[in-house]
Amino acid sequence: MTETKQSTDAPADDALAQAKDPASGIVVCDACPVLCRIRPGRTGACDRYGNLDGKLTRLDPLVIAARAGKDGMVPFLGAPWDGSILSGATAFVTGVGAGTTYPDYKPAPFIVASEMEGVDMVTVVTEGIFSYCGLKVKIDTDRFLGPECAPVRVDGEQIGHVTTAEYGSQMLSLGGVRHLTGGSKREGQVACEALLQLANKQAVEVSIDGGARVVLQAGSAPIIDGVREERMRVGCGSAAIGMFARQWCGHVDEVIVVDDHITGVLTEHQAGRFLDMRPSGVRVRGRRSTPGRYFQVANPGRGWGGTDIGDPLEIVERIDPRAAWPGLRLLMVSTTGEHASFYVLDESLLPRPAAMPAEVARVVARIGENCEPALVSILFMAGAGGSLRAGVTENPVLLTRSVHRGLTRVTSGGAPAYLWPGGGITFMVDVLAMPENSFGSVPTPALVAPIEFSLPLEDYRAMGGHLDRLRPLASVRGERRATTIAWNEANPWPLDLARP
């Protein structure tokens, strides 16, 4: 059972005084603004802190990522940790399970000194409480998911919106402070729980107003209205024409690659002209952009090439008898190769379905071969400010400057972070590159995410860091909660001396 403070009228100092009353056995958790009052043997509302033997205790393991040393051995994995081979080259203390810097006056829970290639390094390790955070979701599909700016919902509550599509992918922007704290209490709770599950690589079904229901899970194929997406398109219709024109030449007289964005027509296209292909006289609907490239041939949908059509001949506006001829061989294909039809013009210049020649079928199959597997990719995005920076140095702006100058490397659970230019420390990280269950939440509501700042000791001293809290890496072995995981070799080692 969880007990939380019922009123915020009493000063925190009074609550802390009550917590120190031996008779009550209650401790007050100050790891976030909720200030849970926790009875012995119970946990706070976030399930991250508990009252163990009258002490406020972070319950989850402190995750240390270890990689092989010069001897090829990975330290501590599956064996007791004796601390004998701890170094900055083989062990990295992540922020997963570290605890937070809240309230503002506290330094980061772990400020760790290590050595890397003869250089003294410091890693400042903490968990950030992020109200200003969200997820950027990339969905590899050309199918219509919903209008741009359409609300994205979970359990009826809006948690984000559809944003601008990218090449071969639909994009969602989820979370953000306005959904977490700016709406109703239920909206904030639903948004926070959905973000937490997605960030921890779990599956969540969302619904899009005026569009589809989509099951999202990082690293897995999207499931759109119950159908698993298999392929990310090879390119737009024009790009497909350019890639495969030479392979079609001599086997077909015209190819139309149907695409919601840019439909390609081979004989009009520069690629067809380069190959001296005879104009076919087959004209498609839509707005002609440049030769052989057409916009708006149909409405967005879940049919051919991300359009709403099921019969590709619907986009043929007319066939010019001055250019076309009986026996003309016409291929219509989608940008993934999943849809393809072959036609031959009869004496009246009407397209008649015909058996697809093997040479043409091979090129259609090659389109599919060149499509990458459709996946859902999720980036966590947050702004690191406030007490988080104060946990590193007494003069927080110096940390920001150091980060933007490339003197301090920012990671999240050891995974590399992309830093946005401009003010503050706004970063993005691929959740798949992070350890399992890296994220937590607090009832404010907000997400809790690991963050680490690594830099040479000399630079840390220059920024006025909390040197009085510096501890050697070897001392972390004394932490009861410490656990080790294998380093993700796809990630760069945060303590390498090469600058970001």
Average pLDDT for the chain: 90
Is the pLDDT reported for residue 19 higher than 50? no
Q: What is the pairing mode between strands 110-116 and 470-472?
A: parallel
Give residue 12's pLDDT band: very low, low, confident or very high (50, 70, 90): very low
Burial level of 444, CB count in 10 A (0-12/13-18/19+)?
Answer: middle
**What integer pLDDT is reported at residue 498 of this predicted model?**
53
To which H or E segment does residue 120 belong? strand 119-130
Residue 49: what pLDDT?
87
What residue has token string 């984000």?
A: 160
Look at residue 16 in the predicted model and tell me its pLDDT. 42
pLDDT given at position 316: 97
- Give strand ranges (E) for 286-388: 287-288, 293-295, 316-319, 329-334, 340-345, 351-353, 376-384
- Whether the pLDDT of residue 185 is over 50: the answer is yes
More confident position, 35 or 478: 35
**What b/e sequence results for 101-120 when a residue is b if at least 16 CB atoms lie within 10 Å of its CB, and e otherwise?**
bbeeebbbbbbbbbbbeeee
State residue 385's pLDDT score. 87
Q: Tell me the mean pLDDT in the region 136-140.
A: 98
Percent of the chain with pLDDT over 90: 76
Token look-up 């919902």 returns 153
Q: What is the DSSP letter of 465?
A: B
Residues 391, 106 contacting (CB under 8 angstroms): yes
**Would the pLDDT of 7 be above 50?**
no
| Tokens encoding 72 | 């090829």
**Residues 47-71: tens digit of each pLDDT:** 888 888 888 888 888 999 988 765 5
268 or 13: which carries more pLDDT confidence? 268
Confidence of residue 104 (pLDDT cuts 50, 70, 90): confident
Q: What is the pLDDT of residues 391-435, one digit of tens each?
A: 999 999 999 999 999 999 999 999 999 999 999 999 999 999 999
HSE-CB for 362 with a 13 A CA cutoff: 6
**Tokens 């062990």 correspond to what residue?**
91
Task: Report the chain's terminal Cα–Cα distance, integer Å.
Answer: 45
Query: Would you place residue 32 in the very low, low, confident or very high pLDDT band (cuts 50, 70, 90)?
Result: confident
Q: What is the pLDDT of residues 274-313, one digit of tens each?
A: 999 999 999 999 999 999 999 999 999 999 999 999 999 9
- Report, as an integer, the average pLDDT of 122-142: 96
Neighbours of 354 (CB within 10 A): 13
Write the pLDDT tens digit of every residue in 215-224: 999 999 999 9
Q: What pLDDT band is residue 177 in, cutting at 50, 70 and 90?
A: very high
Specify the residue for token string 């559809």.
162
Residue 72: its pLDDT value, please? 52
Residue 421: the pLDDT is: 95
